[in-house]
Structure 1
Amino acid sequence: MRRADRYGDEVYRILADIIYKKINDPRISGIASLTGVEVSGDLTVARVFYSVYGSDEDRKKASDAFDRAKGFLRKELASRMRSKKVPRLVFMEDMSLRYGESIDRLLKSVAGIRDDKE
């Protein structure tokens, strides 16, 4: 396992704990969850992926909330990490859930067309 992968796993574990225990923002709590962290090879940037269960408006609110909490989360991360350097956090919505839902809808529509032809 690469060093950046191990570091990313640690960042993920710590951020998930902080978000679960210390963030009381309703725009995040209960509707957003972390799905992964990718850290650059030089360990200076961590792309934090999250998914949102809700409407497009909920996604926008969660994005804003993560951007506003970025400084707090980085400070908390610094206090818990064993490393001297703490990566810059970049929050990105994980689109795989939405992509999967669209594929599911397409497959169901194709199945519906087949049922009509039979």
Structure 2
Amino acid sequence: MSGYRPERVAEQIHKEVALLMMHGIKDPRVAPVSITGVTVSKDLSIAKVFFTVLDEATERKDAERGLKSVAPYLRRQLGQVIRMRFIPELRFEYDKSIGYGRKIDDLLRQVQDDLKDDDTDDSADS
């Protein structure tokens, strides 16, 4: 039963942090940030909050600095909303899975286009 609690806490933190990011934070560095997931350690002391931005090249570093500066505020706000004795420390990490998925999608499209080109070349030769 104890293995399920970190998942529930992670879901609650995800929901509340996403709401706070939309409505409670005025820092323009974190405006383009989307929260993609949260994992919480088994002892509930650390919460890794995964995020992504639309334009990784220009916005990622600013977003990381902005998130680091608003982390104490977010933790205080979570303490007021979530009923726990100790609120986990928030650590923000860039979610690489979005970019990885996009890269795989591009490769699959390229393979599909190559196969179409091969089919048209074969039919033209006949």
Does the alignment reach a TM-score above 0.5? Answer: yes
- Kindly report the root-mean-square deviation, in angstroms, between the aligned alpha carbons of the 2 structures: 1.4
Q: 2: CA distance between counterparts of 1:99 and 1:49?
A: 14
* Cα deviation, residue 55, structure 1: 3.4
Q: What residue ranges of structure 1 are gaps of 5+ in the alignment?
A: none
Q: 1: CA distance between counterparts of 2:50 and 2:61?
A: 14
* Cα deviation, residue 86, structure 1: 0.7
Q: Residue 9 of structure 2 aligns to which amino acid in structure 1?
A: Y
Q: How many residues align?
A: 117
1:9 and 2:25 are equivalent in the alignment: no
Name the counterpart of 2:52. Answer: 51
- TM-score normalised by structure 2 residue count: 0.86
The share of aligned pairs that are identical, in percent, is: 33
Which SS does the other structure have where 2:59 is aligned?
helix
Name the counterpart of 1:32. Answer: 33
* Cα deviation, residue 35, structure 1: 1.1
Q: 2: CA distance between counterparts of 1:73 and 1:58?
A: 20
Q: Residue 7 of structure 1 aligns to which amino acid in structure 2?
A: V
> Which runs of 4 or more aligned residues in structure 1 lie more than 3 Å from their structure 2 counterparts after TM superposition?
none
Q: 2: CA distance between counterparts of 1:37 and 1:60?
A: 20
- Alignment of structure 1 residues 87-102 onto 2, 5 Å: 87-102=88-103
Which SS does the other structure have where 2:104 is aligned?
helix
Alpha-carbon deviations, 1:12-46, whole Å to 9, x = none? 111111111111222221x2111111110000000
> Highest CA radius of gyration, 1 or 2?
2
Name the counterpart of 2:109. Answer: 108
Q: 1: CA distance between counterparts of 2:68 and 2:46?
A: 15
- TM-score normalised by structure 1 residue count: 0.91
Q: What residue ranges of structure 2 are gaps of 5+ in the alignment?
A: 120-126
Q: 1: CA distance between counterparts of 2:6 and 2:116?
A: 49
